[in-house]
Amino acid sequence: MGTRVTALALATLVLVTAACPKGAPPTGTVTPVTSPARVYYDDSPAFRDSLRMVVRDVNTWHNVWAQATSTQPTPPALPDIDYSREMVIVVAAGRLTPGDQIHVDSAGVRGGQFVVVVRTTVQCRPFAADAYPFEIVRVARSDKQVTFIEHRDRAPGCQ
């Protein structure tokens, strides 16, 4: 029995090793998106549907900013974005309840793609009201295809 288990383990190791690419590790790094990268966050109905968007030019940025701040009585000034070095990521959760949140956790190049990790957190006991959380962040510019990776969690302390 011991020889059979050892042979099976060795065969599995050989198959896994053969299936894994050899050579240099994947290029690029996916790094956390910290508070200074946050351009704007709101729970207003500016974006009523779920949305994942990459903004790489100033004209699109003007339109997105106008929509994002459209529910504000006095909209904040348009933040400057250096599109030679940066791009903007917009994530909206759609209709949720107050206290639910959406955030860009991390972003960066992994393999041949630009990866954005989005986390939506819902509360344990939702309020009987609507909220439309969205976040806008700035990240290092990339012309690579963008892939969004989604995580959905319940707030800490939920059972």
For residue 10, name the pLDDT band (cuts at 50, 70, 90).
very low
In angstroms, the Cα distances linking 111 to 22, 26, 29, 65, 115 are 14, 5, 9, 31, 9
Q: pTM for the full model?
A: 0.80
134-157 pLDDT tens trace: 999 999 999 999 999 999 998 887
At a CB cut-off of 8 Å and minimum separation 6, what does 26 contact?
110, 111
Strand (E) or helix (H) holding 60: helix 58-68
Question: Per the domain annotation, does 5 fall within a domain?
Answer: no
For residues 19 and 66, give the distance between their C-alpha atoms in angstroms, rounded to a whole number: 49
Question: Per the domain annotation, does 13 fall within a domain?
Answer: no
Q: Into how many domains does the chain fold?
A: 1
Question: Per the domain annotation, does 15 fall within a domain?
Answer: no
97-133 pLDDT tens trace: 999 999 999 999 998 899 999 999 998 877 789 999 9
Question: Per the domain annotation, does 67 fall within a domain?
Answer: yes
For residues 52 and 73, give the distance between their C-alpha atoms in angstroms, rounded to a whole number: 26
Strand (E) or helix (H) holding 42: strand 38-42
Question: Per the domain annotation, does 10 fall within a domain?
Answer: no
Cα 73 to chain centroid distance, Å, stands at 28
Print the domain residue range for 117.
24-154
- Could you tell me the two tokens for 83? 């599109």
